[in-house]
Amino acid sequence: MPRLLPSLALLLVFFSSCGPRLSPLTQRMIEDQSWQESELKRIQFYLSEDLVLTREFRKGNTEIRNGQVKMLDGRQVEQMVFKRNTPGVFVFSPKTQRMAVSFDANDENFLVFGPNPKAGNRYTLLASDWNRRSGSVTYAGKTWRVNSSDAYASLMIPLKRLRDNEVRGKVARGRKLK
């Protein structure tokens, strides 16, 4: 059994390195590549960390679709959970330097991300009414609360860096005397 452990550890390292390397999406990356909406629609996005949206039900408002209903401090709440590395797609750009990204089969269910100067201009979750504890986001046409610890949830993209720069040209074959 002791001989098996190093082999298992080696296999784990090998298989974990086979997946795509995810890098944070930044405003500079978008500008350097001159990506337009048509290119952004062809990129697979992922969430950098878990994200939990919460909303409180009002009386008579018990419609439950994609979330869970829980009792929190005697209140009935619905939660929408997005796990780390959840894949998403670009839906539209509501304005300059903003991206609506859907992590659901329905394009109407999206979250908005934008460059955050406090996070190196990474595209992080945008919310309004931020205070020390939470912010407010719109998802699926409803207002949800998001914990302030999720403020830096950002978009990640699979990025394959080439070791050598791609250079166009040809190699001279040489010339011999006749």
- Predicted confidence (pLDDT) per residue in 39-91, tens digit: 999 999 999 999 999 988 754 444 555 565 555 556 678 899 999 999 999 99
> 113 near 125, Cβ under 8 Å?
yes
Tell me the pLDDT band of 13, cut-offs 50, 70 and 90. very low
Residue 177 has pLDDT above 90, yes or no: no
Residue 161 has pLDDT above 50, yes or no: yes
Cα distances from 97 to residues 56, 62, 73, in angstroms, run: 31, 36, 38
Burial 69-107 (b: 16+ CB within 10 A, else e): eeeeeeeebbebebeeeeebbbbeeeeeeebbbbbbeee
Residue 2 has pLDDT above 60, yes or no: no
Average pLDDT, the chain: 81
**Would you state the pLDDT for residue 114?**
96
What one-character DSSP code corresponds to residue 108?
T
Taking only Cα atoms into account, the Rg of the chain, rounded to an integer number of angstroms, comes to 22
